[in-house]
Amino acid sequence: MAEQTQVLTDIDRLLQVAERLKNFLSEEAIENVKVHNGEVTVTVKRENLTEALQYLRDEEKFEMLVDATAVDYMHLRNETRFDVVYHLLSLTHRLRLRVKVSVRSDDAWVPTVCHIYPSANPYEREIWDMFGIHVEGHPNLKRILTYDEFPGHPLRKDFPLFWQPGQPLEKPEEKFEEW
């Protein structure tokens, strides 16, 4: 029971943080605030991302960028194909907050946050490498897990699971039955 109340208060505190972030930026800067599985997700507009993270680090004491990654929602959404996801951790308040930015596939870029969180540097390179989302202003945007000549971006949903070097990328994915 005690654990239950702890979780509730954490969510309340995170919602307050989201509220203050909305006041700091503007009403339109935040697309939505979602509570799911005891986690709070704030979706911000791309042009407000750096401002929002700067505010969260300096004023709300989310000192650590624990993780940054992207998700390709090709089969699930029509409008915006990718979500870039930042997981923030506050050592002072013991809170976790997820910040998201949605980008379209024909306009796939996000601004860099390297100058706010140095740890974003390798993560953003990974996002570029795996999803082909350009990171604007990154000091060293090279491929990180694959090699430089690698064609395509492997974690996109339209990249085939079975692919040999030299094979065209357009080849439809072979049917893979679990049974």
Partner 1 sequence: MVMAMATVERERALMTINMGPQHPSTHGVLRLILTLEGETVVDAEPVIGYLHTAIEKEAEHKTYHKVITLNDRLDYVSGMTNNFAYCLAVEKLLGIEPPLRGQYLRVIVSELQRIASHLVFLGTMALEIGIMSAFFYCFREREKILDLFEMLCGARLTYSYIIVGGVRYDLPEGWIDKCREFLREFPKAWHELDELISKNPIWLNRTKGIGVLRKEDAIAWGVTGPSLRASGVPWDLRKMMPYSSYDHFDFELITAEEGDTYARYWVRMLEMVESLKIVRQALDNLPSGPVIADHQWATPPPKTLLDKDMEALIRHFLFYSRGYPVPTGEAYAAVESARGEVGFYIVSDGSEKPYRMHMRSPSFIHVHALPVAAKGHLVADLVAILASFDPVMGEVDR
Residues at the contact surface with partner 1, assessed by CB under 8 A: 36-39, 41, 63-67, 69, 71-72, 75-76, 85, 87, 91, 94, 96, 98, 117-119, 121-122, 130, 143-147, 154-155, 159, 161, 176, 178-179
Report the distance separating Cα 84 and Cα 102, nearest Å.
6
Distance of closest approach, residue 161 Cβ to partner 1, in angstroms = 6
Q: Which is nearer to partner 1, 8 or 91 (CB)?
A: 91
| CA dihedral for 34, 40, 41, 45, sign (positive or negative) | positive
Report the C-alpha gap between 83 and 85 in whole angstroms.
Answer: 6
In the complex, minimum distance from the CB of residue 131 to partner 1, in angstroms, rounded to a whole number: 10
135 contacts 110 by C-beta, under 8 angstroms: yes
- In the bound state with partner 1, the residue whose beta carbon lies nearer, of 23 and 161, is 161
Alpha carbon distance 92, 62 (integer Å): 8
Judged by beta carbon, residue 29 or residue 64, the one nearer partner 1 is 64
Smallest distance, Å, CB 6 to partner 1?
Answer: 10
- What are the beta bridge partners of residue 39? 36
Going from the C-alpha of 97 to that of each of 4, 14, 63, 116, 137, the distances in angstroms are 19, 7, 11, 16, 24
Residue placing its CB nearer to partner 1 in the complex, 38 or 151: 38
**Residue 91 DSSP symbol:** T
Q: Residue 39's closest CA among 72, 87, 1, 82?
A: 87
Shortest distance, CB of residue 38 to partner 1, whole angstroms? 7
* Pick 15 or 64: Cβ nearer partner 1: 64
Which of 67, 68, 59 minimizes the C-alpha distance to 21?
59
Closest approach, Cβ 57 to partner 1, in A, equals 9
Q: Which two tokens stand for residue 148?
A: 């430089």
Q: Which is nearer to partner 1, 47 or 118 (CB)?
A: 118
CB of 27 to partner 1, least distance (A): 25
